[in-house]
């Protein structure tokens, strides 16, 4: 296998800086036009009311003080009626979103909705001791560790983050996290970091909520998503192992920027650690990268986590959008954009991920990149995963909404089929699992699953350099995938 041109983020000490983001002049110009139009309407109304008062005064039908009152009323009525529109950009989006749902716009409904959003934002956006502005527009808040959202969970209140656990046997990392590089997220380009004793958290905004198809389920996957089928339009190209007791998983994941063609679709590549049945008791821990315009407002790959204890019904969420995952690292922002990314027929980058169960306390820890411990999922928030996993999966997933009446053009991986190989197709390499005695082991009895191989496929292999690996992905809609 030709490995020239391959770079692992976990080994990269310096990365190329790219200008991915253009100023959002168009949006601002549109807002200015709306505001100017509103002022023009108000001025016209005022002139009209003055003329009206002049013509009626000659008839001496109203006292002067009443004329002044009528004039002021006519002037302020349009302002009040449009107050929710000009209050803020998010309010304008709220009106637009509400109009899309209901043909008849109800200001009382919109105001209640905005009130709910702001109450939720107040709950999840904790007061920062420092704020960092990312080149992509993200705001990263440095939150005191024991004040992070995780500790709002009833089972975690009053706790504090634990010390790092013992890593699995067979784990090899020259840095072991001490001098590991961590400049593979855009927000760190400025060289600014969060102080010790704090954790970096991507600030959630009103705009994030208003993009969501459902405010109530913001930050959650749709109900009924199954990992063993393509239900609800979710399609996969994965390899998996089952039939044993698993205590963790590890892999290096190639990072790309797949095209997502619908706001409510996504494309992701991740590791799943799974327990329970694929009924309502499904437990999962998930980590990887994803492109999700609905969740993040752009099309850049972002490091993400997810968990659920009831098949995505009422528990769990992405990243830190609910209480649960406890972050311990001040260098990694979950939900932040990853940089650099792989280029077709060019330089390749991947990120190392490992999830494993701490033998001492039983919590599920997450490592990202070159030995950096991100944090952990406490064992007591789970049911089945309180003990061990019964399945581990690696691979890609997309949402096919068929919003245009045919299969989506949303890409998986690099957007190219597995057969194109290195530098062209996306890959996972060095796949391993953790056993009951905290040993890292290669996979055995591997199964492959591709829900629609004409749209997205997968091809597994093994060699001395990459261990167990696979290529996967595809373009979505094509002549063989209508």
Active site residues: 286, 397
Measured CA to CA in angstroms, residue 393 lies from 186, 239, 288 at distances of 28, 6, 12
CA distance 471 to 303: 20
Residue 15 phi/psi, 5-degree rounding, is -120, 160
User: Element (H or E) spanning 50, and its range?
Assistant: helix 25-57
**Coil vs helix vs strand at 393:** strand
**CA contacts within 13 A on the Cβ side of 21:** 16
Do the beta carbons of residue 286 and residue 306 sit within 8 Å?
yes
Which residues, 6+ apart, have CB-to-CB distance to 214 below 8 Å? none
Helical residues (DSSP H) of 170-226, grouped into ranges: 206-211
Determine the distance from the C-alpha atom of residue 8 to the mean position of all C-alpha atoms in its chain, rounded to a whole number.
22
Q: What share of the chain is helix, strand, coil (3-state, %, to 5)?
A: 25, 30, 45
Taking only Cα atoms into account, the Rg of the chain, rounded to an integer number of angstroms, comes to 26
Of the chain, the end-to-end C-alpha distance in Å amounts to 33
Q: In the 8-state DSSP scheme, what is residue 83?
A: H
Which residues, 6+ apart, have CB-to-CB distance to 290 below 8 Å? 266, 267, 268, 269, 270, 301, 302, 304
CA distance 182 to 163: 20
Do the beta carbons of residue 269 and residue 312 sit within 8 Å?
no
Determine the distance from the C-alpha atom of residue 410 to the mean position of all C-alpha atoms in its chain, rounded to a whole number.
17
**CA contacts within 13 A on the Cβ side of 114:** 21
CA distance 49 to 32: 26
Here the tokens at position 460 are 């597994």
CA distance 62 to 58: 10
Query: With 0-12 CB in 10 A as exposed, 13-18 as middle and 19+ as buried, what is 100?
Result: exposed
User: Which residues pair with residue 338 across a beta bridge?
Assistant: 185
């Amino acid at each position: 296998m030709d490995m020239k041109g391959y770079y692992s983020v976990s080994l990269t000490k310096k990365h190329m800086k790219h200008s991915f983001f253009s100023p959002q002049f168009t949006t601002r110009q549109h807002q200015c036009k709306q505001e100017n139009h509103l002022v023009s309407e108000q001025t016209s109304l005022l002139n009209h009311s003055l003329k009206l008062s002049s013509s009626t005064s000659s008839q001496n039908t109203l006292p002067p003080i009443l004329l002044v009152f009528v004039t002021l009323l006519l002037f302020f009525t349009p302002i009040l009626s449009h107050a929710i529109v000009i209050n803020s950009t998010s309010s304008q989006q709220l009106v637009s979103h509400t109009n899309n749902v209901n043909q008849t716009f109800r200001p009382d409904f919109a105001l209640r909705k905005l009130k709910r959003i702001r109450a939720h934002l107040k709950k999840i956006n904790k007061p920062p001791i420092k704020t960092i502005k990312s080149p992509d527009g993200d705001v990263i808040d440095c939150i005191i560790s024991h004040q992070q959202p995780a500790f709002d969970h009833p089972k975690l209140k009053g706790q504090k983050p634990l010390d790092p656990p013992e890593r699995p046997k067979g784990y090899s990392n020259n840095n072991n996290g001490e001098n590991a590089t961590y400049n593979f997220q855009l927000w760190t380009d400025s060289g600014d970091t969060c102080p010790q004793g704090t954790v970096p958290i991507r600030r959630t905004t009103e705009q994030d909520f208003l993009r969501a198809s459902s405010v109530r389920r913001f930050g959650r996957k749709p109900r009924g998503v199954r990992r063993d089928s393509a239900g609800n339009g979710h399609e996969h190209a994965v390899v998996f192992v089952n039939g044993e007791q698993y205590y963790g998983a590890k892999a290096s994941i190639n990072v790309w920027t797949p095209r997502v063609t619908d706001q409510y679709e996504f494309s992701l590549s991740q590791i799943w650690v799974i327990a329970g049945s694929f009924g309502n008791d499904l437990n999962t821990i998930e980590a990887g990268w994803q492109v999700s315009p609905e969740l993040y407002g752009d099309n850049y790959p972002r490091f993400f986590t997810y968990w659920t204890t009831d098949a995505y019904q009422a528990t769990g969420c992405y990243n830190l959008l609910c209480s649960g995952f406890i972050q311990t690292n001040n260098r990694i922002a979950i939900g932040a954009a990853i940089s650099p990314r792989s280029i077709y027929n060019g330089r390749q980058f991947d990120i190392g991920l490992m999830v494993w169960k701490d033998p001492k306390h039983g919590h599920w820890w997450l490592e990202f990149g070159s030995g950096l411990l991100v944090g952990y999922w406490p064992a007591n928030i789970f049911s089945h995963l309180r003990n061990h996993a019964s399945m581990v999966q690696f691979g890609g997933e997309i949402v096919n909404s068929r919003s245009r009446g045919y299969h989506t053009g949303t890409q998986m991986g690099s957007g190219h089929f597995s057969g194109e190989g290195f530098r062209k197709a996306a890959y996972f390499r060095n796949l391993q699992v953790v056993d009951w005695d905290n040993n890292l082991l290669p996979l055995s009895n591997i199964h492959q699953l591709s829900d629609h191989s004409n749209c997205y496929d997968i091809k597994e292999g093994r060699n001395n350099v990459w261990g167990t690996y696979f290529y996967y992905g595809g373009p979505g809609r094509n002549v063989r995938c209508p």
